[in-house]
Chain A
Amino acid sequence: MTFFGLLLATWHLAVSWSGVPPYLLPGPLRVATAIGANFGKLVDAVLLTATGALAGFLLSCVVGIATGLLFSQSRVIERSLYPYAIFLQTVPIVAIAPLIILWIGYGLQGVVAVAFIISLFPMVANTTTGTTSLRPDLVDLFRLNNASRWQMLVRLRLPHAVPNILTGARVSSGLSVIGAIVGEFFAGYGTEDFGLGYLIIQANGQAKTDLLFAAILFSTLLGLAIFTVVGVLNTILLRRWGDSPR
């Protein structure tokens, strides 16, 4: 907290002394005022963006984990499908977001789609690592007991992959927020609802840089909130494994 206070003070002083115009770099007081004046709008926007991000994130969890489980069953399947997953990782989301919106549609569904696409790869990659990186002794243990494929999947590979899945979730959850905001750049909700992405575009267009800062701050807080929830989940699920809390 002390560090944050220092940061605020430095920012304030820097702006006051340098005479930088507020549309370039507003001081903390201006930003605070903007937050106060637009609080309702900001909160509504956060909730809307959060909805899109969460939906996209949960979808990428389901699809990602299922894919990771599938990849553990056959090296052939893994090798043939993995390149498509990598494509998701490398394609610049800002470039394809308009395309996705065009195909899936405006509004929440488009936003969810973009959030999903951007957050899918870490779930696939991490789950796959978790289900395929087993110590040979563990596999032998199950083979010695004549375990079926299904038994090995459900009782060994899946639980073994949980730490990896949680690592992937930490990354994916943050990405889903980015994806939702980027999606909102291109997808309107109509005239009534505004997500953070729309608010950012609007504030930028009207040179209301203090509002822009406010929107960015709220975006960061949203990302932080999701990240914290995943962290708590991590601690709860892995408590008995003996890992140190991360």
Chain B
Amino acid sequence: MGPITRAADVTGVGTLPHVSLQALGHRFPDGTEAIAEVDLTIERGEFVAILGPSGCGKSTLLRLIAGLLVASSGSVAVDGLAADLAHRRRDELAYVFQDPTLLPWRSVHDNVALPLQLRDRPAGEIGDEVDRALQLVGLGEFALHYPAQLSGGMRMRVSLARALVTRPGLLLMDEPFGALDEITRQHLNQELMDLWARDRWTGLFVTHNVYEAVFLSSRLLVMTARPGRLLTELPVPFSYPRGPSIRATAEFARIAAAATGALAALET
């Protein structure tokens, strides 16, 4: 498989891509090869989706970019710096897990405040930033509630607020809406789009839901089963901001069909 390059990928001198993966591969200590030879470039402000079957290494890819894992081969660079060095400046990066991963002993407010507390920010600043983040996800009135009192969708929104509270430049999302019903999922897709439209952080969104991937991204990458490789790239040319109406268009259906076809081809 050759590297995936975009036709319009001509970066100006001095403009580094936000995320750059070169010949990235990862083999776990027990010998399983999670991903093999991934080349990928993501520019600032892009929203890219990675679509793939379960177990294809999508999560591993995200964890490598986040610096949670050290790649066994190839390189990962964020803003030109190797992933582990870049993340000393971890204000730049936030991660949304599949599970909301909220601390049950903390209120919604304190859960969102956690990243700022770990950075020893002053209390006044923390209060303001948390309020702002909760307003963004529409949970301003639930600041004093506890995770046990919230629905799954609301917990995921708290998780999003927590990710956004440090004003990251790069947001990595690992199937965040996978555990939710379709209606809630579509609502949250829209909310996520609105959030992205406000601040234009760079987004990398992993999912196995085709419609979600098409709705959210400007570029959709299909990943093979383990060992994962980026098989196909599909541009998604809808303009932003996007609303639910695009789901009904023929173009949407065409791209979704192409993506589904690419996924199905992996089965054979």
Contacts and interface: CB of A to CB of B under 8 A. Distances in A.
B148 A240 contact: yes
20 contacts: A137-B101, A140-B63, A141-B95, A141-B97, A142-B118, A143-B68, A144-B90, A144-B94, A145-B114, A145-B115, A145-B119, A146-B118, A147-B118, A159-B103, A159-B106, A240-B105, A240-B107, A240-B148, A241-B105, A242-B149
Given A240-B148, A242-B147, A242-B149, A144 B105 contact: no
A-B pairs, 3 with minimum CB distance: A242-B148, A145-B118, A240-B146
A159 B114 CA distance: 14
Contacts of B66: 144
Contacts of B230: none
Contacts of A142: 118
A42 B172 CA distance: 66
A242 B148 CA distance: 5
Interface residues of B, number: 28
A229 interface: no
Contacts of B107: 240
B93 to A, nearest CB: 7
Nearest to B116: A145
Given A144-B67, A156-B103, A159-B106, 20 more contacts: A135-B99, A135-B101, A137-B99, A140-B68, A141-B95, A141-B97, A144-B68, A144-B90, A144-B94, A145-B119, A146-B88, A146-B90, A146-B119, A147-B118, A155-B114, A155-B118, A240-B146, A241-B104, A242-B104, A242-B149
Contacts of B103: 138, 156, 159
Nearest to B174: A137
A140 B95 contact: yes
Nearest to B118: A145
Nearest to B117: A155
B148 A241 contact: yes
Nearest to B166: A145
Interface of B: 63, 66-68, 87-88, 90, 93-95, 97-99, 101, 103-107, 114-115, 117-119, 146-149
A155 B117 CA distance: 10
Nearest to B105: A159
Contacts of A141: 95, 97, 101, 114
A162 interface: yes
Nearest to A243: B148
A146 B87 CA distance: 9
A138 B66 CA distance: 15
A240 B108 CA distance: 11
B268 to A, nearest CB: 34
B156 to A, nearest CB: 13
A120 B41 CA distance: 56
A151 interface: yes
B105 A138 contact: no
Contacts of A156: 103
A162 B66 CA distance: 30
Nearest to B68: A140
A162 B105 contact: yes
Contacts of B146: 240-242
Contacts of B94: 144
Contacts of A138: 101, 103
Interface string A155-178: 110011010000000000000000
Nearest to A156: B103
Interface in A116-144: 135, 137-138, 140-144
B97 A140 contact: yes
B90 A145 contact: yes
